[in-house]
Amino acid sequence: MIHPTALIEPGAQLGANCTIHAHAIVTKHAVLGDGVVVHPFAVVGGDPQYLKFDPATASGVVVGAGTVIREHCTLNRSIYAGKNTVIGARCFLMANAHVGHDCEVADDVVLANNVMLAGHVSVGSFTFVGGGAGIHQFVRIGEGVMVGGLTRLTKDVAPFLMVAERDEVPGFNLVGLKRRGFSRAAILEIKDCYAHVFSGGDPRPLAAAKLAAGVQSAEAKRFLEFFAGGKRSFARPHKSSDETAEA
């Protein structure tokens, strides 16, 4: 359904059963999957906030099926020709959330009100980013992370963790893991890997050594593999991992 006063530029691609509310803007650079909902005054596919950007660049924004984009959200297109800013399926972007150019937001992600993703940020599936959180450019957030409201992130956050304040990790996201139906064995193995990786020193070689020694669950493997990527340092706990909640 296209409501009166919605602006959809020629060249925009909309899947089946999309709803574009009044005063929403979907530019010619946007590709929306089936069932996407865009609320009033949101702008999907706007130019990136990059001073050297050439508006003639052929780039875009791709939004996955079933994603809801609430009022005043802004989703900027890529700065690179032939590239896209990507939002996955079944995401929920609350009012005033901003997704900068060249971000990659995976499936089933929630961005609460006023979340600010700078350029080139990646967010893993089933992650919740609390209201007013600000994420620095090129930061990676793994899957299943709980980002507290008003958090400031300048470092990568490994999967299944909680993070708050400025790059502070109070523990791993036990509630989120249980809600997703992770087995007790997998949770215990992730907890063991968490304690090992954050036992002191650079997490990269510690994670690599733990991975080489072998882990049983796919979830623990994904946790460890995260540390092999990226260019930034990692958010880490300030307290001993022994003080995290018991599984």
pLDDT tens figures, 124-176:
999 999 999 999 999 999 999 999 999 999 999 999 999 999 999 999 999 99
Instruction: State which residues of the chain have pLDDT below 50.
Output: 240-247
Q: Is 105 a member of any domain? A: yes
Q: Is 236 a member of any domain? A: yes
Is the pTM higher than 0.85? yes
Give the integer Cα–Cα distance in Å for 23 and 41: 5
pLDDT of 238 = 80
| Same structural domain, 72 and 164 | yes
Active-site entry in 119, 130, 142, 176:
119
| Same structural domain, 102 and 184 | no
Q: Is 1 a member of any domain? A: no
Active-site entry in 102, 108, 156, 167:
102
| Residue 175 Rama label (left phi>0; alpha psi -120 to 50; beta) | alpha
| Same structural domain, 84 and 162 | yes
| Same structural domain, 83 and 153 | yes
| Same structural domain, 12 and 130 | yes
| Same structural domain, 162 and 184 | no
| Same structural domain, 113 and 203 | no
Structure tokens at 177: 């893991």
Structure tokens at 243: 């003080």
Structure tokens at 50: 């990059």
Asked which of 173, 202, 217 is the last residue of a domain, the reply is 173
Q: What is the CATH number of the domain that holds 185?
A: 1.20.1180
Annotated catalytic, 82?
no
Asked which of 173, 196, 216 is the last residue of a domain, the reply is 173
Q: What is the CATH number of the domain that holds 132?
A: 2.160.10.10
Asked which of 173, 201, 235 is the last residue of a domain, the reply is 173
Instruction: Indicate the number of domains in the chain.
Output: 2
Annotated catalytic, 101?
yes
Q: What are the two backbone dihedrals, phi and then psi, of residue 135, each rounded to the nearest 5 degrees?
A: -115, 120
Give the integer Cα–Cα distance in Å for 237 and 181: 25
Active-site entry in 101, 108, 130, 156:
101
| Same structural domain, 54 and 124 | yes
**Domain coverage including residue 134:** 7-173
Annotated catalytic, 102?
yes
Q: Is 181 a member of any domain? A: yes
| Same structural domain, 74 and 136 | yes
pLDDT of 239 = 63
Q: Is 2 a member of any domain? A: no
